[in-house]
Amino acid sequence: MKKKRNSVDVLSMNGSKWRFLLFLVIPTFALYLFFCIVPMINSLINSFYDWNGYGPKTFIGIKNYANIFSDVEFWDALKNDVAIVFFKELIIVFLAVLFAVSLTRARLKKGEIGFFRFIFYVPNILSVIVITMVWKYFFENFDFLDKGWNILKTDNGIWADRPLALIIFIASWCGIGYYMIVLITAINNIPGELYESADLDGAGKIRQLWYIILPELAPQIRFVIVNILAGSLAVNMNLILPLTNGANHTMVMGLYVYNYGTSNLSMVGYAYAAALVLMFVSFVLCFAVNMYMKRQEAKQA
């Protein structure tokens, strides 16, 4: 902070500033506490109660948590979440890096770059309802892709037999554009001298990619990976809720919480406990991945 200037100290408070705080900033903060923090605290407290949402509560200690861990469906949901996130990360990171490098370092024409940038971002602006409906009816009956090969053909239709694969595909489909743009910016920020000296040394494009672009990109790739991981719990649920609503073993943790919280009204305390477990798992995973990748980067440098 700057020391007091000779004329006026612009940072110190006065009546006008207090009014500004009182009428705009503090109400905003109060609303924020009310809509985001208070529900969180409430769910933490009520997760120790047997509560149907309206009637009297009975304190039952950690019994809700114990029940969650002995519920087969919960482990199913956790397994699905992990599978979806894992494959989604692989697909998105690979393709986003590939496209970002192609659109910056390959010698495409300017028009081509603009075209691909425009198209690849389109899935990011669509609503979850549009995405899920189009893909749902698309895969319901798509024998035309499969004439003669029967690779994609399954007994009961692909939605019944391979729902997770489709969900992974759809989730990746709508994620790539955003992360591609993130990586394009990062690549454009790499100083040109690095390439020039590599050119002088006679390093080819592939070597440049491996020894210059990827190491320089490491922090952004870490950002992409952690961001996908952190967003996944919510994103998976938002996709699966309108798609299958957890049928055919496509339950995920977010949806598990949602269903207990809204439809099964006698188990609200249980739903809150599940939500907190979910948040804990998500935090630990994000933190661990972030730390691990940071350490790897430090080792490389």
Report the site for another protein in 121-180 (rule: CB under 8 A). 121-123, 125-130, 133-135, 137-138, 141-142, 144, 173, 176, 178
What span, in angstroms and rounded, lies between the C-alpha atoms of 276 and 264?
18
- Nearest distance in Å: CB 72, another protein: 22
> Quick one: 45 or 62, whose CB is closer to another protein?
45
Q: Quick check: 215 binds another protein (CB under 8 A)?
A: no
Task: Say if residues 85 and 228 touch (Cβ distance below 8 Å).
Answer: yes
| Min separation Cβ 264 and another protein, Å | 11
Residues with Cβ < 8 Å from 252, sequence gap 6 or more? 77, 80, 81, 84, 233, 236, 237, 240, 246
Annotate each residue in 88-127 with x if it binds another protein (CB under 8 A) or - if it does not, as one string: -------x--xx--xx--xxx---x---xxxxxxxx-xxx
CA–CA separation, 195 and 212 (whole Å) = 8
Binding mask 3-42 for another protein (x = CB under 8 A): --x-xx-xxxx--xx-xxx--xx--xx-xxx-xxxxxx-x
Write out the two tokens for 219: 């922090």
Paired with 219 in beta bridges are none
Identify the residue among 219, 247, 264, 296 touching another protein (CB under 8 A): 219
**285 lies in the site for another protein, by CB under 8 A:** no
Q: 3-state DSSP: the chain helix, strand, coil percent, rounded to 5?
A: 75, 0, 25
Q: Which segment (69-77, 152-160, 238-246, 292-300) binds another protein by CB under 8 A? A: 238-246
> Residue 121 CB, nearest distance to another protein (Å)?
6
Q: Is 272 in the site for another protein (CB under 8 A)?
A: yes
Bridge-based pairing of strands 58-59 and 49-50 is: antiparallel
Beta bridge partners of residue 138, listed in sequence order: none
Judged by beta carbon, residue 154 or residue 185, the one nearer another protein is: 185
* Range 54-73, binding another protein (CB under 8 A): none
If the CB atoms of residues 63 and 205 are measured against another protein, the closer one turns out to be 205
| From 225, 250, 254, 285, residue interacting with another protein (rule: CB under 8 A) | 254
CB of 299 to another protein, least distance (A): 20
Report if residue 278 touches another protein, rule: CB under 8 A.
yes
- Region near another protein per CB under 8 A, out of 65-73, 147-155, 157-165, 192-200: 192-200
What is the closest distance, in whole angstroms, from the C-beta atom of residue 249 to another protein in the complex?
Answer: 21
DSSP 276-297: HHHHHHHHHHHHHHHHHHHHHH
Q: φ and ψ at 49, to 5 degrees?
A: -120, 155
Interface with another protein includes 300 (CB under 8 A)? no
- Calculate ∠ Cα 24-40-284, nearest 5°: 115
Task: Give CA–CA dist 252/79, Å, rounded.
Answer: 8
What is the distance between the alpha carbons of residues 181 and 255, in angstroms, rounded to a whole number?
30
Task: Give 87 or 116: the residue with its C-beta nearer to another protein.
Answer: 116
Query: Which 3 state secondary structure label does DSSP give 50?
Result: strand
3-state DSSP assignment of residue 173: helix
Q: How far is the CB of 159 from another protein (least distance, A)?
A: 14
Cβ at position 82, least distance to another protein in Å = 16
